[in-house]
Chain A
Amino acid sequence: MGPLDDQVVRADSLTATPDGLDIAVYSHWYRALPLPSLARVDLTVDGERIEPSSLSVTVNGQRHPFAALAEKGDEYWFTTDPVLLHVPVETAPGREHRVRLLLGLSIPYILTGPDRVPLVAPSLTDKTLTAAGA
């Protein structure tokens, strides 16, 4: 909730590549977060749900399978940098896609409840955007 929600997926965030759709995603949290904080990526593209296990993610120039991020506690996603979600859907430059993303960031220093579980800060995007060429 707040002004940064609208910047999570931006007008120029979609790129068509030979192996699918790349989505540049920006953080709605104010500080750099360790990579395991990228805890929840509920993504649908054109109504089709994308399994997180089929995603890979480029952060700091390195590409990782989504599940591998949970082990990367010594790397950080900097405040103003995008991460790139590589999504295995067919696309082409100039094609429009409806992107619905519920991004849940696990906030590792805000512990909630008697079990001291990290807060998950959600941000919901629902935008129809045009893919650029790679």
Chain B
Amino acid sequence: MTDTAPGLPRLGTTLFSLSLEQRKPGRDFASLVAEVAARDLGPGLEMVAFQSLRGWPRLDDAAVREVRGVIESSGLTPSCLAINNDLGLYPGRLLTDDESHEYVAVQVRGAAALGFPVARVGVETSPAILERLLPLAEELGVAVGVEIHAPLTIEAPPVAALKELFVRLDTPWLGFIPDMSSSMRAIPEAVYDAHRAAGISPELTAMTKQLWAEPGPTVAKFPELERRAAEAGASPAQVGNLRMLFTMHGKMEPERWADFFPHVVHVHGKFYGIVDGPDGLTDPSIDWPTVARVLVEQRYTGFISSEYEAHAYSDRYDAFDQVRAQHDMLKGLLEAQASVVAR
């Protein structure tokens, strides 16, 4: 496996990147893992348990053995298992705190059984539930990380509450999982494909991209977006698609990821496309040179899971090739930063 130099963040892939690949005839879990390894897209391996593992969250011993066997024979290293706290499981009510705790605890035990050192939850998992999970996390040796995904930023009240919790408990078994969707510099080009299919004109998509890029908090721009979209004749469903761009792509300055340290247990290398430009491989939507600098300066040595998500918008690009390009770009950036930071 290609690895970064010692003392640097390590690379890896989440199978979520291969969401469209998973649907192709003849594909199964074992073949996806094997191909990630064969294409040298490790060493870290992450997956969404509910996406990849049939029978989750109740895997019997034989299923656990089978999954472990697939991972071990690939040579990849389990990095993080994304689990879910399905608070809205039943119509008309949310799970109680006891139900939510049990729902997540079962999955943290599952992550441990499969050999994952980190389990990812979303911000819907409250500080109180996280604190209740701490003894289990400690006992199992599985860190529980809360993913910070767009539209969340360091300033969002739930994030501040988490920061306070992590500072107070001061434990390696609870922390953040930064996801670069929160700190983007442009809405990705791939969105044009999805909008075209949804009957949204390229002009309307371009207007939304431009409005997003203007200074000021995104949340304050929703009325302006809706006004301009309605003037252009967009249907309510189309306005919903345009609003989604504001929700899925955050504009926090990437330098702010430093404020999440030292409570970072894993990193999602979210991206929507790498291009080979005049300056080599670059990501038009995410400022990876700055992110790499922050991670190296913070002495982060955990995994960055490449998380290609343009498959939500377009099937035009090959996800394996995209992850390859991101790995090549990141390896170069991290190793270049290491020499700057060391000086």
A residues near B, CB below 8 A? Answer: 1-5, 7, 26, 30-34, 36, 39, 70, 73, 76, 78-80, 106-111, 116-118, 122, 124
Contacts A2-B313, A111-B124 given; does A31 touch B48 at CB 8 Å = yes
* Across-interface contacts of B91 in A (CB, < 8 A): 36, 39, 70, 106
Flag whether B122 is at the interface (Cβ < 8 A): yes
A120 to B315, CA, bound (A): 23
Stretch at the interface among B72-80, B82-90, B160-168, B181-189: B82-90
Stretch at the interface among B3-11, B14-22, B212-220, B323-331: B14-22
Given contacts A3-B313, A30-B16, A76-B56, 17 further A-B contacts (CB under 8 A): A2-B311, A2-B312, A3-B194, A31-B48, A31-B50, A31-B51, A32-B56, A73-B89, A73-B90, A79-B50, A79-B51, A108-B89, A109-B84, A109-B86, A109-B124, A110-B122, A116-B87
A3 to B241, CA, bound (A): 14
B residues near A, CB below 8 A? Answer: 16, 19-20, 22-23, 48, 50-52, 54, 56, 84-91, 94, 122, 124, 194-195, 197-198, 237, 241, 244, 311-315
Is A3 a contact of B315 with CB atoms below 8 Å?
Answer: yes
- The interface residues of chain B, by DSSP majority, are classed as loop
User: Which residue of B23, B56, B197, B311 is within 8 Å of A80 (Cβ)?
Assistant: B23
A33 to B20, CA, bound (A): 17
Is A78 a contact of B54 with CB atoms below 8 Å?
Answer: yes
A7 to B16, CA, bound (A): 18
A134 to B286, CA, bound (A): 51
A77 to B85, CA, bound (A): 16
A122 to B48, CA, bound (A): 22
A39 to B90, CA, bound (A): 10
Is A7 a contact of B90 with CB atoms below 8 Å?
Answer: no
Nearest A residue to B16, CB-CB: A30
Is A79 a contact of B22 with CB atoms below 8 Å?
Answer: yes
User: Which residue of A7, A26, A109 is within 8 Å of B88 (Cβ)?
Assistant: A109
Contacts A2-B312, A3-B315, A73-B89 given; does A116 touch B16 at CB 8 Å = no
B52 CB to closest chain A CB (Å) equals 8
Contacts A30-B51, A109-B124 given; does A1 touch B197 at CB 8 Å = yes
User: Which residue of A31, A36, A116 is within 8 Å of B89 (Cβ)?
Assistant: A36
B190 CB to closest chain A CB (Å) equals 10
Is A2 a contact of B56 with CB atoms below 8 Å?
Answer: no
Nearest B residue to A6, CB-CB: B197
* Across-interface contacts of B314 in A (CB, < 8 A): 3
* Across-interface contacts of A31 in B (CB, < 8 A): 48, 50-51, 84
- Give 19 CB contacts A-B under 8 Å: A1-B194, A1-B197, A1-B241, A7-B23, A26-B23, A30-B16, A30-B48, A31-B48, A32-B50, A32-B54, A34-B86, A73-B89, A73-B90, A107-B88, A108-B84, A109-B88, A111-B124, A118-B88, A122-B237
Is B89 a contact of A3 with CB atoms below 8 Å?
Answer: no
A85 to B122, CA, bound (A): 32
* Across-interface contacts of A107 in B (CB, < 8 A): 88
Is B50 a contact of A76 with CB atoms below 8 Å?
Answer: yes
A109 to B88, CA, bound (A): 6
Is A108 a contact of B88 with CB atoms below 8 Å?
Answer: yes
A39 to B88, CA, bound (A): 12
* Across-interface contacts of B197 in A (CB, < 8 A): 1, 5
Is B51 a contact of A32 with CB atoms below 8 Å?
Answer: yes
A32 to B52, CA, bound (A): 8
A11 CB to closest chain B CB (Å) equals 13
Of listed B54, B88, B91, residue having the most chain A CB within 10 A: B88
* Across-interface contacts of B237 in A (CB, < 8 A): 122, 124
Of listed B16, B85, B90, B198, residue having the most chain A CB within 10 A: B90
Is B311 a contact of A3 with CB atoms below 8 Å?
Answer: yes
Is A109 a contact of B311 with CB atoms below 8 Å?
Answer: no
Contacts A1-B241, A76-B56 given; does A116 touch B48 at CB 8 Å = no
A112 CB to closest chain B CB (Å) equals 9
* Across-interface contacts of B313 in A (CB, < 8 A): 1-3
Is B86 a contact of A108 with CB atoms below 8 Å?
Answer: yes
Is A109 a contact of B87 with CB atoms below 8 Å?
Answer: yes
Is A116 a contact of B84 with CB atoms below 8 Å?
Answer: no
A111 CB to closest chain B CB (Å) equals 6
Is B88 a contact of A4 with CB atoms below 8 Å?
Answer: no
Of listed A30, A107, A111, residue having the most chain B CB within 10 A: A30
